[in-house]
Structure 1
């Protein structure tokens, strides 16, 4: 799944974060995350119609009672008789027993896209689940959630042994664990196949999960879509199934629908028939049988969408981009996605050394979608902002998001779909791998962008901020530690996506890409159509290493990588250039925090170290213990040492004071002597080391003195990210006045430079990163009240209001122009943008307008926007959390949003708490500025007051916010005087 929003994400788009009022923040140009999702695997591909299990199943399973406990009933047309709950009953556990394995599903679904007499949209379904009995048992557990089942002779299912109906003892529902429990009157035989038949009705709700409803308006007509989002545990909301990733099976899907709708599923349509039922005409589409795959990858859509591209023809893979007719046919918004999909698919076929596994690749833009995108096999679904692109309206950031999300999802068609993780505890392997190779796929489609470098900003640096907390967690965990749906959903975080990508990139770098690719191809071939655990990949990579003599490793891949996978966090590598001593230590943003999570390696890592001096590039070395001595690290005179070239290693670097001074001096005298990625690294490491009290705060600030001379995006973005923390901590204090003057002085040369090279903002720079740097220049300059910037934004916005045409505002500049104008204006400007938001049908433009609405300085207007966020007739449900987050980014709106979240927590939790992968982001963002004892008390009280309903997928984020707030309090108290003096001195010296 695309990181999204974890996200995420996280995953992410170009987010331009303004702190309006006196100030603020900038772009967090991160790139997708297509918020994707996980897979599993057995051992070797079995013959069709059989399955294998890598774990020895238990002996015969029998039921301990013939009647269900009354507290397990749900409104599934079932009744139950009270009995004593047996805690060891299989239906009181989240995981399925190993006694049964699905082989094939025949599924027929009929969505009704008009409301029924109860004012609901519903779908009817029929399902036959063919399964293999591995061990004798008289119990069938199959997932079913929020489905009202038809009764057959008082049972909610029929069980067939060939043509013979097998007698049942009882059927009931376990609501908490989401099981249909079938107790059989006879013992099922090991090695034999049976078929479980059910009929059911479900609601096509707008909850963005399972089989759900999306709506849009076209030509003033409301159009309904029936679509799916199964990951992680929501296939059970569409049809009864063995809803675990290792329970792979084949699927035959049939959809029944009314014209003029169209139907699509994972596989090509093989037949279409028109029938009449109750005087109404219904079209029946049957789709080809799928390969073995996990239930969370099943997808089907009934819509009035149109496509651009070519369908499958039997010899050539069909590639089509689907979406609203106006967007696809009239506005040609699918053309860019179509153009980049073919080279990305071809790249991955070569990279994986495996042909694309299916006959088609349909990609669909949905108006309502919870994640960024979802890698359903052969039928990938996206938010409109992640697939559609309009040259007249979409920015360069929108374009990058489209190509990287597509690359992320297509990467999963092999790594995740063809070979799938066994259980969700290894989600990081699925999402981390796709996040890493999305940059490779995007680079193939846009070779002039040099996009691969951006992983350092978007993923490595970003996730280090989370992974440096004592409340972080390892990449993987034991299977038994991940059970409930909310526990599964909580795994879709920046650790899985961005840290996973960072350590896989590090692995690829020290192995070399050819060896890495050979090992991955071997892994895919060895486990195709099955499931794995992460160590299976290590084993195949080790085979690639053992087959050659060039790359030498100090230990096995398993020994090296387990230090990065099985313990949370990462090291700071400290070098003393006087002695050559190098040490490693667990890096924590708050050095006073207590780490309670045990580590199998004592928080020591096997660290690959690359380095250069001002005169030479050295050979890579390995730090295998807590401390060592490297002669090349002894530096004399004016020479300097730089460690972790291009930030290929997942660690921070600290030096002795003398080397810091030499590096800063080099930046100020000739910054181009330091590679651009490492200029960003020096700044980012310095600010984070200062927050962790491992480096003086003034040294970190000194790294920004040269920045007014730099014209590259990455160092500027690193500086802005580091300084954004100062903004968050001090923009409500007197310290901010001097900081504002300093930032205004530093950005003015950058602003003037881009004003000149763009002909006063009339043309765009050529390269991707230059365009991003131009956006930053405008964003920072307007945020810090550079008069020319404020006038530019005001003039462009006023011309728009006068002419009612945005043609004079380039899409790259719109978010900044809109935000600045609303911040300077009042209700008139806000209402104008609100009307434009209601009128636009281009999702990327809607995002820019919606973000800008949060820039107002009027508290009552911001409160109005917060109220709108929970009204789906005004703000789409999928955009509620990001809208609240936009208000948080405004210093004036932060406290308003915090009050709003507390007052509406139960509503927010009911909407997003159990399934939304971005829900945790809300807690993180709304508490980001907390730095006082009073705010900490509020946060702790919020935790206490909301134990019921709880925090769901935001539980981890809440604990991290408490930890961050405590660290912020200490940091501000210790550094506010020094920070105030540094900015005052810096401004004074520049006058």
Structure 2
């Protein structure tokens, strides 16, 4: 057995480059290849350990010696033992290997489309070793020269542009240019019947690759890339690192997308849409995912973490910066409001006493997979936004530019990032960041005012958990932005709270009307208000707070009510204060809370009373929206309409809405364009919920005939909405059949 810990490779030998010649037998679902690895041997040795999983190695040559191959499945490694000692210096290791295309959507895998087999890769985090023997750790960078031997009628793609394509027997051999120094998990291979639409953005060739019948659905992706790539070039002050940027639609893909350098792979729903019929929500999601993956071409690909405990360096940054860039491109989308919505999940997870830090030790492949969660993505992104708000936008950007340029084509750590930002800002950033990235949880900040003018604040903090009594009393260093109103105007004040308790005197003109402890929701913490402070804020919140702050305020009240700090009536009263507010995200949040209350808290005997409350809360807004969109209506109102329809139909059981559903569904089937695109998904789900299962088989037929990913997702969600036990069994049978794509299960 291997003596390695968790499959990490020993020092002493490192690859400089890989030359890979791969043959893929699609009909047999097998592959084979020859591999030449240029090695730097640092000291005399007799064994070399690489990663390999589910591969058969048939030849090994180094310095004229054939090695004895020992396989260690539990470590996902193999050890080559040579008869004689290998001297230090540059050496060439030659290998021949073979394997099977799996159907697990990892490594090099097979996917079928209309009876034809194609092959794609997904290597992050530790699955490059499933396709070829390699040093499969992010810190072990090398260059890759790839050749693919494929059927002549298929397209072959990899990270770099094609430098040669020639016929060899009944195949064609496609050779790609050598990659820059990069990690194994970023290597990509696609072999399929693909067509493209392409543009040029500055010096970068951009193409969207799809199946032939999907080509027209790629136009929006090109539009997004054309808009955001120059913004990212400018943000980093460094052009896109690869000469081409392929956006490839993969028929079956386990992830939403994967940032392979120069060849980004996508699930179809995250890349393709019909611009004439897609909802605003779908356009926003696709733009966000595309931008997130393009950000990785710098953050993650050009500069890569040493090990997976710093995965957040990739994903937190891509989450935060994608929002920033999309908001810059389409300010009317108010993308930071969506970012705030995304904080709800990590705030809930991080309130668990057994939560983990963003930067956490990982020892094996299973633990690596667990890192791809809301704490790494959304909490990390929120903490970066908090730090940017503390340092200032220009100072933060300058630090990021220095970091990228200093560590390009290398690996870096969190400490490297904080050191660079400290030098740019002259702030004690390492000390601040340590609290937020290496420590689980987050604080609850209690705010109390005193004095006749209420301008003296008493702040206290402790870790927020689901229990009232916190066990972690160590203070965080918290960059806070207070927002308050006095007799003169509304003000903001930045403070750094580094004690468990502190007093602060605000420069109030006259008397303090109200104060809110998390301006623009820039901080990753919750706030609570005591006495007169709480009463004043509840009275002014509806008219004084920004929509993003209203979401945060409601979220804090909900969290405090959920753990018993105050009765649920306090939260319900706040909902009443916001009645009539048509802000899209606020309506969405309120509808979500009402649904949770209906499903989890309201007793069956009280459902009719609660339905009346929902009706009273939302019907005035619905009457302003109605079923039909105006010709020049803005996107926000379209999204509000969909949220209101679902809440009034599913929670309030509004008779007028339920009686109108069949007519609207029939109208949609006859003339799809007659129903606003943002309403279609909600309409279909409500029909599933309310018709007793009559449309189940019809929806399966619609699913099979869907022309766009968005349309397919509408029917997938609807099938899961039918609430008859017998239909649940039919749905399980459908999932186990070949009618359902693996990615949709």
Report the TM-score range of the alignment, normalised by the length of the smaller protein.
over 0.9
The answer as to 2:605 corresponding to 1:722 is no
SS at match of 1:650: coil
| Equivalent in 565, 570, 582 of residue 442 of structure 2 | 570
Correspondence for 1:231:
124
Question: How far 1:310 sits from its partner (Å)?
Answer: 3.8
The answer as to 2:99 corresponding to 1:202 is yes
Which stretch shows the higher mean deviation, 294-303 or 838-847? 838-847
The answer as to 2:638 corresponding to 1:771 is yes
Question: How far 1:707 sits from its partner (Å)?
Answer: 2.8
Question: How far 1:709 sits from its partner (Å)?
Answer: 1.3
Correspondence for 1:465:
348
Normalised TM-score (structure 2): 0.95
The answer as to 2:200 corresponding to 1:343 is no
Question: How far 1:635 sits from its partner (Å)?
Answer: 11
Question: How many angstroms apart in 1 are the aligned matches of 2:632 and 2:348?
Answer: 31
The answer as to 2:695 corresponding to 1:798 is no
Question: How far 1:637 sits from its partner (Å)?
Answer: 7.1
Contact 2:38 2:90 in 1 (8 A): yes
Correspondence for 2:9:
96
Correspondence for 1:420:
304
SS at match of 1:828: coil
Which stretch shows the higher mean deviation, 843-852 or 816-825? 816-825
Correspondence for 2:498:
624
Superposition pairs of residues 209-248 of structure 1, within 5 angstroms: 209-217=106-114, 222-248=115-141
Which stretch shows the higher mean deviation, 774-783 or 288-297? 774-783
| Equivalent in 153, 160, 164 of residue 271 of structure 1 | 164
Question: How far 1:444 sits from its partner (Å)?
Answer: 3.5
Summarize deviations over 1:218-257 as a string: whole Å, max 9, x none.
xxxx332211100000000111100000000000000001
Question: How many angstroms apart in 2 are the aligned matches of 1:765 and 1:573?
Answer: 44
State the aligned residue count: 737
Summarize deviations over 1:342-367 as a string: whole Å, max 9, x none.
22111111101111111100001112
Question: How many angstroms apart in 1 are the aligned matches of 2:711 and 2:196?
Answer: 22
Correspondence for 2:538:
664
Unaligned runs of 5+ in 1: 1-68, 70-88, 547-552, 881-991
| Equivalent in 35, 49, 65 of residue 166 of structure 1 | 65
| Equivalent in 419, 422, 433 of residue 539 of structure 1 | 419
Question: How many angstroms apart in 2 are the aligned matches of 1:90 and 1:195?
Answer: 25
The answer as to 2:521 corresponding to 1:647 is yes
SS at match of 1:874: coil
Correspondence for 1:283:
172
Correspondence for 2:372:
492
Question: How many angstroms apart in 2 are the aligned matches of 1:833 and 1:172?
Answer: 53
Bigger relative contact order (CA 8 A; separation at least 6):
1
Correspondence for 2:453:
none
Question: How many angstroms apart in 1 are the aligned matches of 2:51 and 2:330?
Answer: 43
| Equivalent in 242, 260, 266 of residue 153 of structure 2 | 260
Runs of 4+ in 1 over 4 A off after TM superposition: 633-638
User: Structure 2 vs 1, CA of residues 641 and 837 (structure 1 numbering), >3 Å: closer, same or farther?
Assistant: same
| Equivalent in 641, 647, 657 of residue 789 of structure 1 | 657
Contact 1:576 1:633 in 2 (8 A): no
Correspondence for 1:604:
476
The answer as to 2:564 corresponding to 1:686 is no
Contact 1:91 1:181 in 2 (8 A): no
Question: How many angstroms apart in 1 are the aligned matches of 2:49 and 2:200?
Answer: 39
| Equivalent in 669, 681, 686 of residue 820 of structure 1 | 686
Correspondence for 1:378:
262
Unaligned runs of 5+ in 2: 451-455
SS at match of 1:362: strand
SS at match of 2:419: helix
Superposition pairs of residues 940-979 of structure 1, within 5 angstroms: none
Summarize deviations over 1:361-388 as a string: whole Å, max 9, x none.
0001112100110000000000100110
Question: How many angstroms apart in 2 are the aligned matches of 1:866 and 1:333?
Answer: 30
Question: How many angstroms apart in 2 are the aligned matches of 1:741 and 1:526?
Answer: 61
Correspondence for 2:357:
474
Question: How many angstroms apart in 2 are the aligned matches of 1:765 and 1:112?
Answer: 54
User: Structure 2 vs 1, CA of residues 591 and 127 (structure 1 numbering), >3 Å: closer, same or farther?
Assistant: farther
Question: How far 1:764 sits from its partner (Å)?
Answer: 6.4
User: Structure 2 vs 1, CA of residues 636 and 746 (structure 1 numbering), >3 Å: closer, same or farther?
Assistant: farther
Contact 1:431 1:496 in 2 (8 A): yes
Summarize deviations over 1:77-123 as a string: whole Å, max 9, x none.
xxxxxxxxxxxx53464211111111100111111221x3xxxx111
SS at match of 1:333: helix
The answer as to 2:84 corresponding to 1:186 is yes
User: Structure 2 vs 1, CA of residues 867 and 591 (structure 1 numbering), >3 Å: closer, same or farther?
Assistant: farther
Normalised TM-score (structure 1): 0.72
Question: How many angstroms apart in 2 are the aligned matches of 1:373 and 1:731?
Answer: 39
Question: How many angstroms apart in 1 are the aligned matches of 2:118 and 2:329?
Answer: 31
Question: How many angstroms apart in 1 are the aligned matches of 2:262 and 2:562?
Answer: 46
More strand by percentage: 2
Question: How many angstroms apart in 2 are the aligned matches of 1:393 and 1:493?
Answer: 32
Question: How many angstroms apart in 2 are the aligned matches of 1:603 and 1:372?
Answer: 37
Summarize deviations over 1:855-907 as a string: whole Å, max 9, x none.
22321012211332233x13222121xxxxxxxxxxxxxxxxxxxxxxxxxxx
User: Structure 2 vs 1, CA of residues 441 and 234 (structure 1 numbering), >3 Å: closer, same or farther?
Assistant: same
Question: How many angstroms apart in 1 are the aligned matches of 2:66 and 2:55?
Answer: 23
Question: How far 1:742 sits from its partner (Å)?
Answer: 0.8
